Amino acid sequence: MKRFGLVAAVVALAAGAHLARAGTGEGVLAVDPGLPPYQTVGGISGNLSSVGSDTLNNLMTLWAEGFRKKYPNVRIQIEGKGSTTAPPALISRVAQLGPMSRPMKSSEIDAFEKKFGYKPTAVGVALDALAVYVNKDNPIERLTLQEVDAIFSSTRLSGAPRDITTWGEQGLAGEWESLPISLYGRNSASGTYGYFKEHALSKGDFKNSVKEQPGSAAVVEGITNDRAGIGYSGLGYRTAGVRAVPLQAPGSVSVYEATPDHVYAGSYPLSRYLYVYVNKAPGRPLDPLVEQFLEYVLSIEGQEVVVKDGYVPLAKEIAEAERAKLH
């Protein structure tokens, strides 16, 4: 099982000093005040197309709305059917922006490089905790990742000794004891599906009983309406109808909730970057429209949108490193 070392290593430099607590009592962090405000430039107009992640669909829509207020002559089209759709859209030039909730696979990078002679550029735009949700009435207190694997996977590659199919087998009593666990997840086009498969199931196979949903919101809605339900979705899709279960990673005695604090610390075991991939030739500038859109995303206004949509904003040091990729 891979730990979330990438975020932990980078964010540890920035999390403590620069991020102010919003005071909600839920570990929500305010936008880093060191982030630059967005400065409009002249000559920005035209059409911008985004194809990719459903997880990022709301964020892309909100960013597009904010960007168009600054540039009314820009038209932005957004399609969010899953991270798997981003690489071919970039390769075919159907889209200039490829939002993904996971890194590109080596095969996807190879296909891009075969077409253009160089690799795509991944721009980190936000942080996320992939939460394991249950119905709000479910009293389960915690889950180990090994138990998550035993619940969702038919292969149990994490080493769980037995399959878990009822809430009683997971330790719940009373009316829950004989209740079969009802599984909700994403389809294979989703980056969230791929991330969960790799990091929670140790690349194992999902059970055939998982009810695959077309979007993250549908997963949460299904669990909301199903007291026996459990599923996975990004932190930004949490509602009052579900509860994120605290998780314990292999080899750890600590249990961590899906909160921004634990994402920044790298301690929540299902933390991840959210990306927007672009086609940038080495030594050549990005298309000005694409560049300015990403400059907006990485500005203080853009990261305020991240907080508004329930995700975790980038610290100044991280945003600076991502902005450098644009030039």
For 152-164, what is each residue's pLDDT tens digit? 999 999 999 999 9
Same domain, 186 and 304: no
Q: How confident is residue 2, by pLDDT bands cut at 50, 70 and 90?
A: very low
The predicted-structure confidence for 197-256, as pLDDT tens digits, reads as follows 999 999 999 999 999 999 999 999 999 999 999 999 998 899 999 999 999 988 888 999
Same domain, 194 and 66: no
Kindly list the distances between the CA atom of residue 246 and the CA atoms of 110, 249, 282, in Å, as whole numbers in the listed order: 37, 10, 43
Pick from 253, 270, 287: which residue ends a domain? 270
Pick from 237, 254, 270: which residue ends a domain? 270
Same domain, 160 and 262: yes
86 and 112 Cβ atoms separated by less than 8 Å: no
- Residue among 171, 125, 143 at smallest CA distance from 258: 143
**Three-state DSSP state, 229:** strand
Token pair 């079969």: residue: 180
Based on its alpha-carbon atoms, the radius of gyration of the chain, rounded to whole angstroms, reads: 20
Same domain, 177 and 295: no
- Residue among 61, 81, 26, 36 at smallest CA distance from 305: 61
The predicted-structure confidence for 172-191, as pLDDT tens digits, reads as follows 999 999 999 999 999 998 98
Tokens matching residue 219: 């997963």
Same domain, 15 and 122: yes
Residue 270 main-chain phi, psi, to 5 deg: -115, 45
Same domain, 162 and 259: yes
Same domain, 84 and 113: yes
Tokens matching residue 68: 């168009």
Same domain, 71 and 108: yes
Tokens matching residue 116: 């253009």
- Residue among 185, 180, 182, 183 at smallest CA distance from 232: 185
Our count of domains for the chain comes to: 2
Same domain, 239 and 108: no
Mean pLDDT over 78-90 rounds to 96
Pairing of β 98-100 and β 242-244: unpaired
Tokens matching residue 124: 């980190």
1 and 158 Cβ atoms separated by less than 8 Å: yes
What does the pLDDT read at residue 29? 59
Give the integer Cα–Cα distance in Å for 271 and 78.
25
CATH number for the domain spanning 286: value is 3.40.190.10
Same domain, 184 and 247: yes
Pick from 270, 287, 316: which residue ends a domain? 270
Same domain, 134 and 122: no
Which residue segment(s) compose the domain that 257 sits in? 129-270
**Three-state DSSP state, 323:** helix
Same domain, 102 and 225: no
